Amino acid sequence: MAEDAKKLAHGAVRIDFATDPSRYRHWRLAVADDTASLTMDVDEEGGLFEGYQLKLNSYDLGVDIELADALQRLRFEHPAVKVVVLRSGKPRVFCAGANIRMLAVADHAHKVNFCKFTNETRNAMEDAAAFSDQHFLCVVTGTAAGGGYELALATDHIMLVDDGTASVSLPEVPLLAVLPGTGGLTRIVDKRKMRRDHADVFCTTEEGIRGQRAIDWRLVDELVPQSKLEERVGARVRAVAAKSHRSGPARGIALTPLDRRFGVHSVTYGFVAVEIDRTARIATITLRGPEAPPSASAAAMVELGAGFWPLQVARELDDAILHLRNNEFEIGTLLFKTAGDPARVASYDVFLAAQGAHWLAHEIRHLWKRVLKRIDVTSRTLVAVIEPGSCFAGTLAELVFAADRSYMLIGRRDGDNRPPAALTLTAANFGDYPMANGLTRLATRFLGEPDTLATAGARQDVALDAKEAETLGLVTFALDDIDWADELRLFLEERASFSPDALTGMEANLRFAGPETMETKIFARLTAWQNWIFQRPNAVGADGALRRYGSGEKPGFDWRRV
Amino acid sequence: MAEDAKKLAHGAVRIDFATDPSRYRHWRLAVADDTASLTMDVDEEGGLFEGYQLKLNSYDLGVDIELADALQRLRFEHPAVKVVVLRSGKPRVFCAGANIRMLAVADHAHKVNFCKFTNETRNAMEDAAAFSDQHFLCVVTGTAAGGGYELALATDHIMLVDDGTASVSLPEVPLLAVLPGTGGLTRIVDKRKMRRDHADVFCTTEEGIRGQRAIDWRLVDELVPQSKLEERVGARVRAVAAKSHRSGPARGIALTPLDRRFGVHSVTYGFVAVEIDRTARIATITLRGPEAPPSASAAAMVELGAGFWPLQVARELDDAILHLRNNEFEIGTLLFKTAGDPARVASYDVFLAAQGAHWLAHEIRHLWKRVLKRIDVTSRTLVAVIEPGSCFAGTLAELVFAADRSYMLIGRRDGDNRPPAALTLTAANFGDYPMANGLTRLATRFLGEPDTLATAGARQDVALDAKEAETLGLVTFALDDIDWADELRLFLEERASFSPDALTGMEANLRFAGPETMETKIFARLTAWQNWIFQRPNAVGADGALRRYGSGEKPGFDWRRV
C-alpha cells in the first residue's frame, strides 16, 4: 500500500474481500422460506481503518464488503429467496451514509475505489432483481441520509414510515461540498424519474424530505403509518413474492471459503495465480483451465458446488481483482494469461448453455457477467497475452475483449513443442456477457464494422490461430517469436512511464463506446465529477467542507465557478 | 476576473466573443458560390493572454472565438454554401492543437471554460452538417496533433495527404499527461467507430499515425497523393455539394456588430440586459420582448436581418452567457427574467413556424437551439423568475425549463396594476429545441410522467397562471406575494453559501436525465475526467507533465492508480 495510506484497524495487513455471515459485524442475514431479511446494524468499533467510529449506521468499505458478500450468498446459497427486506437494526436511523471522518482522512485512491465498490454492490442488488427475480424492499425507519438513501435507491420498492421524523435526504452538497457519489444523483432522475427542479431542491435541502412530499416527488414508493408497518411490510412481501418466478430449491450451494495464499509477491488460488512485480508495476493474473470435463448433469454440478470450475474461477478472479484494486494502488497494468486446454474450457460454456434453465448455471453465468463488468471499470491498463499453452476460449476469451489491447504469438517458440496459441469463440461471446452499455464486448468492439461481428460469429467453436484472429479483428497484434519479447517489453515499459491519471481517464473513455445506460452514467459522468470534487480544496483542503465538518467552523471556499 | 487570472494581451480588459472577419488574426474565410474555404493561419503574436506564442498553428480561446464566428456567418451570411474546406495556411503543419504554454499557465476555471467553448464550436460544425446540409471537408497537410486532429474529427470527411510525413495524432496522454479534451476520445470510438484497442494504441503513440494505417484504423476517410491533392479536393467538394439540399440565396443577412455597452456592474444590449451583483455573486439577465409584431413576410424578416427580434435576442443572450462564463467566474447564479408582452413573443414562434421552410427562419430556430444548449452546459445555477410584466412564452419559456428551478408569483403585487404573471407554451416547446440528450426540455422534465407532458401539450397558446403552471409541473414553486421576497432571498443566499464545485457537479448530473448522445458524453464523461486530470499534480503540479513540457526534464509522477 502507498506510504501515506491510513492504518488498518484490528491488526489487518490488507483489505480483505472474503468474509461470511459468521464473521459479519455489521449485518444480519436471516432467511425464512422465500423471504430474507437483511438488517444493517453497524458496529461502531468495527471500522476498517483506525481513527473513526461508525456511528449512526454509517459505513465504510468494510461494511460494504459484508453487504456484497450477503448479496452473493442470496443468489447462490438461497435460490428460493424471492424477496429481501432491507432494514435498519437501529432505532431512529436507517443509515447515515458513508462515514464522514473516513472520507475526510482517506487517501484519494482509497476513496475512489471505495465508491466504485459500493456502486458495484448497489448494482448487484438491481442485477438480482432484473435477472434472478430476487427483489429488494427497503423499509426506511428514521433517517436515510446520503449513502443511506442511495442504498434505498438501489432497491425495488422504498417504504417510508410516516411518523413525522423518518426522512430521506442527499445532504452531501450543502453539508460536505461533495456529491452523493453512489449513484444517487443518477438514480433520482433516471431510475425514479424525479423532476430535475425537484431534484435540485431535494439535493440542496440538508434535512431532507419526509411524508407526503416524498411520495409526490417520487422519492419513495409507499408511506406507511408506524402502527401498520409490519402488516404493510408483510403484505408487500407477499405481493412481490407472488409475482416472482424465482424457483430454486430451499437450499442452494455453499460458497465455501476461497482456497487462497498470500505471498510477498503473489496471491495463489486454486485456479488463479497473481504474480506482482512492484518494480515494473505489473501484476500477471494467470487463470488455469479445468482439470476435468464438465459434470455429466446438473445434479453433479450442484454436488461440486463452489468447486465447480466456472464458479470457482469466477470467485477467485473477482477476489484477485478486488485485492489488486484496493491494496496495490501502484500496480498500473494487469496482464491476463491462461493455461490449459481451450477445448475443455469451451466445453464448460456448452454445458452451462445446455443447463441454462437450471438455477445454478444461470447464477454462474450472471456472476461471470458481473466479474467481467468489474474488470471493465478497473482503472488499470488491461492486457491479454495469448501464447502457446493458453486456453482463451469462450468465457475466458472475454478477458481478451475486456483488455485495452491484446498480443497473440504466431506459431511455436523454439524448443516449445506445444501447438501454437489459439483463440476460440463460443456462443457465450455473443450474448451471455453484456457490458454496462448493454452490448457484448464483441459488439462494442465492432460498432463500426457489423460485418466483422457477423464474420466472427460464423467462426465459433474453431481454434483460431494468430493470423486468423488478427484478420478477424479479435486481437490487437499478432507477432512472431522474433518480435514478441521486444515488442511486449517496450510496450509495458512505455505504458509504465505514462501518467496514471491520464491513463485512467483515457481508458474510461475508450472502453465504453456505444449506448449509455444508468450504469455507465454512474461509473462515468457521476464518478468522474465526484473524483474531480474529491480533489478540490473546497472539499478536501484544510479549510474544505469535509475537513471542517463537525468542527463548528464554516468551510472556506474558493468562489470561482469552474 | 479572479485575482490570479493571467494578464490579457494587447491591452484587452475582458475576453470578448464578438468579432468579424475583418478583425480575424488567425483564420481566412473565402466564399465562392456554394463552396467556402476556411484557412487556419494562426498569428503567433495574437495570443489572448500574455506570455506565450501561438506557434505551429496552435490555438487558444482567441483563435477559437474567430472560428466560432466564422461558423455562425457561414450559416447566416452564406446560405448558399454547401461545402466548407477546412485547411491549414502553414506548410508542414495542419494544427498543433491547444497551445501547451497556455494550458500550463492558465487558471483551472479558464482552462475548463476554454475546453467547453471549443467543444461547442466543434459541435456547431456537426450541427451545420446535420441540420443545414452544410458540410465540412478537412484537408490534413502536415501534422494534425491533439486538438488539431480533434478539429478534423468534427468535420464530415478527413483527407490526409500521403506524403510520408502528414499524420494525425492524439499525443496528450504520453506527452502531457492530460486527455484529448475536445471530444477526441469520444469521437474516435463513437463517431468514427474505431476499435478500442486500436484507439488505445493510437492515443498512446506520440508521433501519431500516417498513410494506409490511418485509413485501416478509420482515423481518416481518404488518403491522397500530394500531386493529386487539389484535383481530389475539387472532386470531393463537387460530390458533397451535389448531395446537399442547402438552397439559400448567394447573399444572406449581415450579422452586424452587437449593440452592446459594458458598465462596471452591467452589460446592456438592445434586448438583453445583464446586471451583475458581485457581492451576492448573482447576475440577472433580463430579456425584453419584441417591440412590434412579427414581419408580414419572409422578405420583411430578411430585410430586418440581424435586427429581427428572435435573431437579435438570441445573439445578445449568447454573448451575455459567454461573457459571464469567461469573465465573471465568481458569479454563481444566473437569474433569468423577461419583460414584455407574452402574446407578442408567442406570435414570433407562430411566424417562425409558418416560415419554417425559409432558410433564415430555419437558421434562427437552430441558433436558438444552440444558445439554449450553451445555457444547459453553463456551470452556474440557473433560476427563472416569473413575475407580472414578464413574457415567458414559447421560445423564452425554454429558459424556465433550462433552469435548475423556477419561481412564479401568484396574483398581483400590492400597488402593481399589471396582470398576474403568465407562462405560455407554444409548439416550439414541444420539438424545436432538443437538448443534447435529443429530447426537448419538457420531455426530459417529465420523463417519469408522460401523461403530464401530454396534458401540458394540450394547453398550448394559453396564458397559464401561477397555480395552473405549478399544477402542470411547469414551475418549481408558485408563491404568494407574502412569501415571495423572503423565499427567493433565502434561496439565493443559501445557494451562494454552497461549494461552487459541488454545485457544478450536482447540476451536471441532474440536468441531463434520459438518453445519452455523443454530445452528452463529451460534456459529461470526457469533460469531467479531463477536469479531474487538470487538477491532478501529475498534470499541473510543479513536477507535472504540463509544467515540465519542453524543459527537457521528465515529469515526476505519483504512480498510484485511482
d(CA A19, CA B270): 69
Per-residue model confidence (pLDDT) at position A4? 42
Confidence label for B496 from pLDDT (cuts 50, 70 and 90): very high
User: Which value does ipTM take for this structure?
Assistant: 0.95
Q: Do B509 and A525 touch (CB under 8 A)?
A: yes
Nearest CB neighbour to B498, from listed A173, A218, A505: A173
Backbone CA torsion sign across B23, B24, B30, B34? negative
What pLDDT shows up at residue B4?
42
| Residues ≥6 apart with Cβ < 8 Å to B396 | B287, B289, B338, B345
**What confidence score (pLDDT) does residue A523 get?**
93
Question: What does the H/E/C string look like for A317-369?
Answer: HHHHHHHHHHHCCCCCEEEEEEECCHHHHHHHHHHHHHCCCCHHHHHHHHHHH
Average pLDDT in chain B: 96
Query: What residues in B contact A196, CB-CB < 8 Å?
Result: 404, 444-445, 510-511, 513
Q: Give A246-269 as a DSSP string.
A: ----SS----PPP-EEE-SSEEEE
Pick from A502, A558, A561: which is nearest to B179 by CB? A502
Q: B204 touching A, CB under 8 A?
A: yes
For residue B335, what is the enclosing H or E element? strand B333-339
SS3 B95: strand
- Looking at the partner chain, which of B185, B404, B494 has a beta carbon nearest the beta carbon of A200? B404
Count of CB contacts below 8 A, A vs B? 289
In this prediction, the residues of chain A whose per-residue pLDDT falls under 70 are 1-5
Let me know if B250 is exposed, middle or buried by CB neighbors in 10 A (0-12, 13-18, 19+): exposed
Determine what percent of chain B falls in helix, strand and coil, rounding each to the nearest 5: 45, 15, 40
pLDDT at B1: 34
Q: What is the DSSP string of B370-434?
A: HHHHHHHT--SEEEEEE-TT--EEGGGGHHHHHSSEEEEE-SPPTT--SPPP-EE--GGGGTT--
Confidence grade of residue B2 (pLDDT, cut at 50, 70, 90): very low
For A190, the closest of B193, B379, B513 (CB atoms) is: B513
Q: Side chain identity at A356, as an amino acid letter?
A: G
Measured CA distances, A73 to A43, A66, A84, A151 (Å) = 21, 11, 12, 18
Question: Which of A107, A218, A560 is facing B500, going by the closest CB pair?
Answer: A560
Pairing mode, strands B135-140 and B93-95:
unpaired
CA dist B283 and B327 (Å) reads: 12
How many C-alpha atoms does B541 have within 13 Å on its Cβ side? 15
In chain B, residues with a C-beta closer than 8 Å to the C-beta of A516 are: 515-516, 520-521
Q: Cβ–Cβ contacts within 10 Å for residue A260, how many? A: 16
| pTM exceeds 0.95 for this model | yes
Task: Give the model confidence (pLDDT) of B276-326 as tens digits.
Answer: 999 999 999 999 999 999 989 999 999 999 999 999 999 999 999 999 999
pLDDT over 70 at B512, yes or no: yes
Determine contact: A523 vs chain B, CB below 8 A.
no
**B197 close to A (CB below 8 A):** yes
Using CA coordinates, name the residue in chain A closest to B204: A495
**pLDDT one-digit tens code per residue, A121-179:** 999 999 999 999 999 999 999 999 999 999 999 999 999 999 999 999 999 999 999 99
Residue-level pLDDT at A6: 80
Distance CA A24, CA A42 (A): 10
Touching check for A520 and chain B: CB below 8 Å? yes
| Strand-pair partners of A386 | A408
Q: Cβ contacts (< 8 Å) between B528 and chain A: which residues?
A: 524-525, 528-529, 531-532
Nearest Cα of chain A lies from the Cα of B175 at a distance, in angstroms, of 8
Record: contact A185-B502, CB cut-off 8 A? no
Top residue of A510, A517, A519 to mutate, by most chain B CBs within 10 Å, is A510
Average pLDDT over residues B375-380: 98
Nearest to A536 by CA among A173, A208, A182, A196: A173
Grid cell digits, residue A19: 468474509
The predicted structure's pLDDT at residue B426: 98
Tell me whether residue A242 is exposed, middle or buried, using C-beta atoms within 10 angstroms of its C-beta: 0 to 12, 13 to 18, 19 or more. exposed
Residues of B in contact with A189 (CB under 8 A): 447, 509-510, 513
Could you tell me the pLDDT band of residue B181, with boundaries at 50, 70 and 90?
Answer: confident
Q: Output DSSP code: residue A22.
A: G
C-alpha cell at position A23: 464473521
Beta strands in A66-183 (DSSP E): 83-88, 93-95, 97-98, 135-140, 143-145, 157-161, 167-169
pLDDT at A2: 38
Best probe of the B interface among A178, A501, A559, by most B CBs < 10 A, is: A501
Contact A511 B562 (CB under 8 A): no
B7 by Cβ neighbours in 10 Å (0-12 / 13-18 / 19+) ranks as exposed
